[in-house]
Amino acid sequence: MMPRRSIDRFLLRVLLWLAPAFAIWYALAPLLLTPVAGWTHVTLSHFFSQAIAAVEQQGTAVDIVTRFVVAAPAAGAASPDAQGQLVFAINALKYAYGLPVLLALTLAAPTAIGEKLYRAVMGGVLLLPVPVWGISCEALKVLVFQMDPAIAEQMGTTPLTRELLALAYQLGYLILPAVTPILIWAAFHRDFLGKLLPQMRRATPSVATGE
């Protein structure tokens, strides 16, 4: 029973830390997302300079400022031909929730407070590419799949690149934010996992055939 109890205690600590970790993350989100917006701007404006002019943070969202000109939605009858620069917003939080998950796992592990702080900060730095990937892929997905076909044509996409973009978007939205913090935590806590995994195997009841 001792191995099972040890595992249950760890899982309970993780659950107890999740609520405060998410509360802190949400309260500090505008500050924590600043480097995300900055690196997303660098990525998109460098690799897709023909389409993206800037990425600007607005609280927990980022505005994708494109180089495309479209009809202004607020144009009145007096100016039916009014045009404006295409700008759309993306909610950055849905790609950055891995940080509180990593924080809860780190705080629940039996390590010294200084080690917890170091691993949480380093883990947060290693997590930075995940929301950058997700936001970048969504921005490209919006331009290629959700805007006027003329915009997708100017993006220079092909059937293959559209398939790859759809795959990259699904990866950045469904898999990376959930899996990456667990992998980073496991890499920082190999010593703890080395003790926990054998306990999990001993705690799992073996099923003998014929009994």
The whole-number pLDDT of residue 191 equals: 86
More confident residue, 26 or 81: 26
Residue 26's pLDDT is 96
- The domain limits of the chain are 2-33+93-203
Q: Is the pLDDT at 88 greater than 80, yes or no?
A: yes
The CA radius of gyration of the chain, in Å to the nearest whole number, is 23
190 CB-near residues (< 8 Å, 6+ apart):
none
d(CA 136, CA 10): 36
| H/E run at residue 94 | none
Two tokens at 149? 């076909």
> Could you tell me the two tokens for 88?
């759309």
Q: What is the pLDDT of residue 73?
A: 65
Q: Which pLDDT tens digit goes with each residue over 157-203?
A: 889 999 999 999 999 999 999 999 999 999 999 888 887 766 555 55
pLDDT of residue 4: 58
Task: Encode pLDDT of 18-43 as tens digits.
Answer: 999 999 999 999 999 999 999 999 99
Q: Please, what is the average pLDDT of the chain?
A: 88
